Amino acid sequence: MNIENFVSVNQLSNDEFWELMALARNLKQDLRAGKSQLILQEKTLGMVFLKPSLRTRVSFEVGMTQMGGHAVYLGPDDIKLGERETTEDIAIVLSRYVNVIMARVFDHRTIEGLAEHASVPVINGLTDFLHPCQALADFFTIYEAKRELEGINLTFVGDGNNVAHSLIYASAIAGANFTIACPEGFEPDEAVVEEARKSTEVNILHDPAEALGDADVIYTDVWASMGEEDIAGEKKSRFDGFRVDEEMIKKAKDDVAVMHCLPAHYDEEIAQSVAHGPNSVIFEQAENRMHAQKALIALLVNN
């Protein structure tokens, strides 16, 4: 892998993307077979959290342990980027202690600042603009479920948010067709869409029924992201009719895979019966965060 940091999925070439997918598959298979994975012995991951998390923290921390390494958790009260200390100084100091940094933050410029000033690899664990680790796990999950990615029709129902942006970038690399169904005014970033359209088909629709006919995958996410609590009520009213429920998935292919990056607000963006139903790959998707991220860390540290 030729990249020094992982800030966005669109940094990856097609070959690097498939190298990650292959290593994630091998690591998952080896773990289930009980084989040793001690490929990062004496390596330390520094985990910077300005936003709380279940999956991000546990998947990174357990993944490092499984590979023989160690993870250090730095919560919102432990490290205040740009407040108690500059992002530049934190990046420089952490680089003296750890072998790789993962940060889950609000402002995308924060992760860019860490990557600019750190002398060790920096991984974007989430920003308000992108969620690239999630997209890696998602496409690994789609590949497991469908055995292919090129030409797959991925339909995202909901807000054009950070998850949608990273899925759009990943679709462009993998050759998947991306469609988003969202209310007017909640479309994904125009620059992200235009860049992806150089490599694949990206459709923006405002009627979920119109978007679902050819869907191989239906993906949804919370309507109001962390930090948007003050407008959650307004968004809920605007997204009326965009809940992924039993009637909605009937409009797609019989074997459509249903995805959600979690946590879910049941009976808002998705029905609990669908999330736990036969078409759901949501919990495989959650597990695959760990396998995809292990592959990413291994390739960055051993670059």
Are both 9-131+286-301 and 134-281 of the same fold? Answer: yes
One digit per residue, the tens of pLDDT, for the chain of length 303 reads 889 999 999 999 999 999 999 999 999 999 999 999 999 999 999 999 998 889 999 999 999 999 999 999 999 888 877 677 899 999 999 999 999 999 999 999 999 999 999 999 999 999 999 999 999 999 999 999 999 999 999 999 999 999 999 999 999 999 999 999 999 999 999 999 999 999 999 999 999 999 999 999 999 999 977 666 666 677 788 999 999 999 999 999 999 999 999 999 998 999 999 999 999 999 999 999 999 999 999 999 987
Comparing C-alpha atoms, which of 170, 59, 157 is closest to residue 104?
Answer: 59
Q: Per the residue annotation, which of 55, 104, 165, 243 is the catalytic one? A: 104
Q: Which superfamily is assigned to 134-281 in CATH? A: Aspartate/ornithine carbamoyltransferase (3.40.50.1370)
Q: Is 182 a catalytic residue?
A: no
How many Cα atoms are found within 13 Å in the side-chain-facing hemisphere of 33?
A: 9
What was the pLDDT predicted at 117? 97
Class of domain 9-131+286-301: alpha beta
Q: Is 134 a catalytic residue?
A: yes
Q: Is 261 a catalytic residue?
A: yes
Q: Per the residue annotation, which of 261, 285, 291, 293 is the catalytic one? A: 261
What was the pLDDT predicted at 227? 63
Please report, as a single letter, which amino acid is at residue 100: V
| Alpha carbons 299 and 24: distance in angstroms, whole number | 11
Q: Per the residue annotation, which of 131, 243, 260, 291 is the catalytic one? A: 131
What was the pLDDT predicted at 303? 78
Q: In the numeric block, which tokens belong to residue 39?
A: 């490929």
What was the pLDDT predicted at 267? 87
219 strand-pairing partners: 156, 259
Report the predicted TM-score, pTM, of the whole model to 2 decimal places: 0.96
- Where do the domains of the chain lie? 9-131+286-301, 134-281
Q: In 68-189, which ranges are continuous DSSP H helix?
A: 87-97, 108-117, 132-146, 162-174
Q: Is 221 a catalytic residue?
A: yes
Comparing C-alpha atoms, which of 201, 164, 144, 156 is closest to residue 180?
Answer: 156
